[in-house]
Each structure stands twice: as C-alpha cells, then as structure tokens.
Amino acid sequence: MALQDVCKWQSPDTQGPSPHLPRAGGWAVPRGCDPQTFLQIHGPRLAHGTTTLAFRFRHGVIAAADTRSSCGSYVACPASCKVIPVHQHLLGTTSGTSADCATWYRVLQRELRLRELREGQLPSVASAAKLLSAMMSQYRGLDLCVATALCGWDRSGPELFYVYSDGTRLQGDIFSVGSGSPYAYGVLDRGYRYDMSTQEAYALARCAVAHATHRDAYSGGSVDLFHVRESGWEHVSRSDACVLYMELQKLLEPEPEEDASHAHPEPATAHRAAEDRELSVGPGEMTPGDSRMPAGTETV
C-alpha cells in the first residue's frame, strides 16, 4: 500500500513555485493599516539609478552595465556587479533596489535548480522569465522594485526577456533599463544590427554605457561586459567608464585642417563663364534659368 493511502499524505504541487516563499499579506505592519499605503507614507524615498543594457544578435546575447550603486547623493559602492549569473546559460541585469534584485535572483536560482532536478533538463529562457514574473507579481503594490533583462541561450537559440516587478514580461532584441537608459538607447538605436560581428557588438555595448555614465549622475564607475554564447556565458571585460569615454572622444575628434597658405586657390573658371554669359545676353533677352521679367514686358 502506498504511503499516501496510509497517512493521507499528498505530494505538494511541483509545477508551482516553492512553498517556502512568504505570503504577500504576511508583512508586519501596524494593525488596521494597508501595507501599500503604509509603505508609501513611511517608507524610505532615496533616489537611485543605474545603466544596464542587453541586446541579441547572431552570435548570442550581450549584457553590459555600470558598477555604481547610489543611495541618494551618496555613492554606496563604486564597484558593484549588476549582472548576476543564474546558471551556465542564463544571466540577468539588475536595476532597482539592490536588496530586492539579489533576493529574487537567489529565489530564481533555487527554483530553476529544483525544476532541473525534477524534469532532467534546464528550463528555457522563456520559462525562467515567466516563473520570475509570476512570483514577483504576487507582491505588486508592496514597494518591490526589480527591473531585469534575462539573457540566455536555450534550444531555440539566443533569447532576451525584460521582466518587471509588477509582472510585466516582454520579449525583444534590445532593452536598456535604468536612469541612464535614454542615453544608452540613443547609441544603440544608431549602431545596432543583428548581423554585426562580435567585436562590433562589444564596442557598441561599451560605447552605449560609457556615454550614459557621462550624462547620468547616478551611473558611473566601470563598464561590465558579458557575452552569452551557445557554450555558456563569459565575462568579457571590466573597463573604467571615464577612461573609456575619453578614448571614444579621441576617436571622434576631427583631423587638423591644413594651413591656409598651402590651400589651393579656388578656380576662377566658373566665375569667368558666368560673367561671359551675362555679357552675351542682351537687356531685353531672358535666359531659361532667369526668373526675372524683362523690362520691356513689364505691365503698367
């Protein structure tokens, strides 16, 4: 006889998230207060920002981010890592509250590992994005702030999804999240091509983040660059954002012009031809290119 028939035991639902997560209504707030209203009134309001981006191309997915963690006008950490690996073929950029992002990525790592043990294979990038979106949507309205771009490679090739803490889930080729994202989008929209080479993709990602850190006060530090391939993710480089921006500016500087003494004088052939043409035309004649009315045809 089976165990569940003896002690009336039933196995938990293996398709849903782990039951170890706290319930959305289990927060310790004063009695009679709505959690959302209480957090809006008494919760800390500290300005924070970042610049993260990810884009998909034929050789995989590129993820890049700055390394400055800000808390109001205070730089809490100039060398933080905003790209968090989930497993060998999946990583994500983090934007929002650092504690929320780190916590939910640990939860996602655990849930994907449990599903891998149950099913014998890693879930797809789309399944991971759907799972993260479903878990965070239960805490909507409780001041949770997580905005991430999931970058991975599965059986269908390179995949990129954007997930927000209110349950939003979008699939696309280019995403940039954070206070510096408008500046990064300006560079990405100009230079992005799906069939670009690997080195062109590296240069585009570095250029976009470096320009964003120059314009956005809450972004800075260094530029972390990751590449997700079919064989797994790779940390390509960490470059100083200020040095990188100065190098890019030197590449864009125009070449010095030649001295005026060495400049060749403009040929006078065109001017002479125009003068001869004016002399050959009489006062009462009109050329096809002349829009003026001759004096003899004026009406009184």
Annotated catalytic residues are 50
**Angstrom distances, CA of residue 96 to CA of 99, 108, 156, 271:** 9, 17, 30, 66
- Give the whole-angstrom CA distance, residue 37 versus residue 47: 20
- Give the whole-angstrom CA distance, residue 100 versus residue 161: 19
Instruction: Name the β-bridge partners of 170.
Output: 162
Are 248 and 78 in contact by the 8 Å Cβ rule? The answer is no
Are 93 and 148 in contact by the 8 Å Cβ rule? The answer is yes
> Nearest-CA neighbor of 108 among 136, 147, 142?
136
- HSE-CB at 20 with a 13 A cutoff on CA atoms is 7
